[in-house]
Amino acid sequence: MGADTKIEWCDHTMNFWFGCTKVGPACDHCYAEALMDTRYGKVSWGPGQKRVRTSAANWKEPYRWNRAAQKAGRIDTVFCLSLGDIWDNEVPDSWRREAFQVMDDTPNLRYLLLSKRIGNAVKMCDGNPLPRNAALGATMVNQEEWDRDFPKLQHARYETRALFTFASVEPMLGPIDARGGLPDWVIVGAESGKADEVRRMDPAWAQSLREQCKAAGVSFFMKQMSGPAGRPIKDIDAFPDDLRVREWPA
């Protein structure tokens, strides 16, 4: 629940709390539920269940990462939350406000706020902007979700003054035609997990979305693949230092 994350597109993961509710097809084989509910019994998944706030020591971790990044003269990337959802209806508003304060206090960290509930972002910010170092992301794994949630992501970007927007298409469950509407960064990955549960991704789906990103000048990250052998995706970009970021006035 801290540094040394195995997630390739960030430097750290931060969970201010854990617990969630399944809300879509991406959640079917939820690793967080399997870990924190089924395996460890730390929290019960589902609507109406209380979320569990992590320890005070864990809440101090971003300050340590920030000091190290500042000393090294770099900006580190932090994924929030791998074991929950920043815009979860069951999370107390006060927890979110405290999490935003931590982000404000740690300017050498770039926070990636990824959610399956992007439609909640504006109302849960209460008309206030996000911390200046917070980016806004939405999980969209098929055409239906993209068509439904990409406009919400774009709307939320301007209402919250997010640093930039990104999409997590993981697990990718079908082809996506972005119809020219793309965020600043797209992450794609096939489903991982138990062999008998994994839903296969056709590499052509990922290749198509990559080409759409390339044509639009949008950054693309390929996390992992599955599918027929002999159809690799090559020359995949990692998280770029020159990612297009819109600077907002104070």
Residue 216, sorted as left (phi over 0), alpha (psi -120 to 50) or beta, turns out to be alpha
Give the residue extent of every domain in the chain.
Answer: 12-224
Q: Which of 107-111, 117-121, 139-143, 226-230 has the lowest mean pLDDT?
A: 226-230
Q: How far apart are CA 230 and CA 155, in angstroms?
A: 40
CATH of domain 12-224: 3.20.20.70
C-alpha distances in angstroms, 182 versus 5, 35, 69, 120, 147? 27, 32, 30, 20, 11
State residue 121's pLDDT score: 98
Q: Distance between CA atoms of 29 and 122, rounded to whole angstroms? A: 28
pLDDT above 90 (res 247): no
Helix, strand or coil, per DSSP, at residue 196: coil
| pLDDT on residue 241 | 52
Phi and psi (nearest 5°) for 153?
-65, -45
Contact present, 221 and 236 (Cβ < 8 Å): yes
Q: pLDDT-based confidence at 105, cuts 50/70/90? A: very high
Q: Per-residue pLDDT for 50 more than 90?
A: yes
Give the DSSP H/E element, type plus range, for residue 134. strand 134-139
CB 21 within 8 A of CB 88: yes
**Residue 166 pLDDT greater than 50, yes or no:** yes
